[in-house]
Structure 1
């Protein structure tokens, strides 16, 4: 009997994703060069750049730099019998936690390959990803990890038996990073399930020489880090918080502008002048409320629309195009609330 899986809860799916993460930079092509190509070559180029853009553009913000450093520091001591550390990646919805997690998984995979050139021949699985379901039990959690490796899951196995199998798989696979996503589901489970699952994770990671990374939201205020067992997770992990960017100071406005320019460069639109989006920086912040995930969704949707239109001379993101693209419900709600507050303030004045 298998457990339901998430978007990359299988080894092969995750490996395919990690191998694509390392090759996601645009090929520099001028508008004139593009127009000189055959129709077939233009179509192939458009398909490739659309795939690259749709696969998620990652901009290295200070938070991602902190995350990379936290992983490297934890990886340096992962071999020790005691004193190993992990990472808690926390952030509100739409702050890009999944994108950040995939990015650091790609970093870990590249680092593993560099240290183990024969990793494929030796059967290494550099990164393991498991998504925590609601009402998770320890036995269910170990079953999900067995599913990730493609190992059989026997319903009558005990938690201890499954844990031994998972521990052996990690050891044989020389895994470097284990990502537990949606960890807030663990904190929201009933007391018995939460304690059993948390204890199972703790016991497993005590036995496995890999870096654990726990991803979720509101973890600092949840029982995952605050009850008796949670305090042990908190004391063993470096926290990295993903938040929305603001533009209240010149330094923060400069950071926001740098993020916009970086996105623009990664899009590689043929008729987009360098830094043309900077004139819309304030508008982009108002639309997204500083959410990197919302900004990515807005700009990539605009770019994909322009490419699909098939007019290279018109590949320019305008404010009108941006205004025509709806965002996720959370971002739209925040924008509506901000507009209502602004309107109320103008009436009061």
Structure 2
């Protein structure tokens, strides 16, 4: 069973995982395989489709560049370190974006020999729990770091313990996902937000927050919010449009995902015939789009058709709409 990336073991496995892209195979070559080898090929293609490299969109590149800039700047700052907030609608790709940027960062650190040793933790990745309190917030960090949470610890002692371990482990990037759970309408969550701010001041490293429509949580409102926005660059992930100049970006995304599906009989670029229908069905939300196409692709691999049946999907939708309008 795959461990959550909000644990040190799960995160390490996520960073270390390397999936080789299955060698392209023709229909005749697939048919010539033994039943066991054919099943292995199909499973390998489905696994690579779901867990392989993410599509590097223009939005992904801009956010990664900003995070890397702030990582470099923070190397020279003793206080007032800079961070990034990634905000957007649900399923827009926030977690995928920050997790894969952090993964790429740690892999680069390993490549240059700066992430060696059992005690090195280049990246910490935590999620803010619902109904969060200061101690619960710090507990997520302690859980990731593998620290025992002693019942007699008060918040200050736990904070100092976490901060000292983060410093000792050489952590450079700290990702706090689900930051919208720190809804500032509630006193305990305001206190948890203050605790997170204090921790960021005590810890070396660059903090990156990610959450659903972060502005709506109140995190950037009032005096607390002004402190946040003075140090954190808010970056928004947006839906893809399918009109004007943005049409080309939508088409590029469709072709990139189509190419990652590994379908033997899929005609390259055939997906573009349904660009408008796919946009109408998903609203330009990348998470909804990939979810839909992955399901269709897995069906095509399992039933042996090896191509996206978008004519069938949207033909059925059109027929159903026509019937409903009678």
Task: Decide: shared fold, TM above 0.5.
Answer: yes
Number of equivalenced pairs: 319
The Cα shift of 1:196 comes to 2.0
Q: Distance in 1 between matches of 2:271 and 2:207?
A: 38
Q: Does residue 130 in structure 1 map to residue 126 in structure 2?
A: yes
Match of 1:223 in 2: 218
Deviation track 1:241-280 (CA, whole Å, cap 9, x = no partner) reads 111111121x211110000000011111111111111111
Map of 1:84-99 to 2, 5 A cutoff?
Answer: 84-99=81-96
The Cα shift of 1:187 comes to 2.0
Q: Does residue 244 in structure 1 map to residue 239 in structure 2?
A: yes
Contact 1:53 1:304 in 2 (8 A): no
Contact 2:22 2:44 in 1 (8 A): no
Contact 1:108 1:176 in 2 (8 A): no
Q: Does residue 303 in structure 1 map to residue 294 in structure 2?
A: no
Change (3 A) 1:66 1:23: farther
The Cα shift of 1:283 comes to 0.9
Change (3 A) 1:26 1:254: farther
Contact 1:75 1:211 in 2 (8 A): yes
Change (3 A) 1:238 1:156: same
Change (3 A) 1:73 1:25: farther
Aligned residue for 2:78, secondary structure, equals coil
Deviation track 1:299-335 (CA, whole Å, cap 9, x = no partner) reads 11111111122x2xx2011224544999xxxxxxxxx
Contact 1:18 1:102 in 2 (8 A): no
Q: Does residue 293 in structure 1 map to residue 278 in structure 2?
A: no
Aligned residue for 2:15, secondary structure, equals helix
Change (3 A) 1:158 1:19: same
Q: Does residue 253 in structure 1 map to residue 247 in structure 2?
A: yes
Q: Distance in 1 between matches of 2:22 and 2:80?
A: 42
Aligned residue for 1:243, secondary structure, equals coil
Which of 297, 307, 325 is 1:316 aligned to? 307
Contact 1:134 1:189 in 2 (8 A): no
Aligned residue for 2:74, secondary structure, equals coil
Match of 2:62 in 1: 66
Aligned residue for 2:176, secondary structure, equals strand
Deviation track 1:213-265 (CA, whole Å, cap 9, x = no partner) reads 1111221343211121221111111222111111121x211110000000011
Deviation track 1:34-89 (CA, whole Å, cap 9, x = no partner) reads 33333332222211221122226622112101111011101112322134211100
Q: Does residue 271 in structure 1 map to residue 265 in structure 2?
A: yes
Q: Distance in 1 between matches of 2:259 and 2:137?
A: 41
Map of 1:1-349 to 2, 5 A cutoff?
Answer: 7-20=4-17, 23=19, 25-55=21-51, 58-79=54-75, 80-117=77-114, 119-188=115-184, 190-191=186-187, 193-249=188-244, 251-309=245-303, 311=304, 314-323=305-314
Change (3 A) 1:24 1:71: farther
Change (3 A) 1:27 1:177: farther
CA-atom RMSD, angstroms? 2.6
Gaps of 5+ in 1: 1-5, 327-338, 344-349
Gaps of 5+ in 2: none
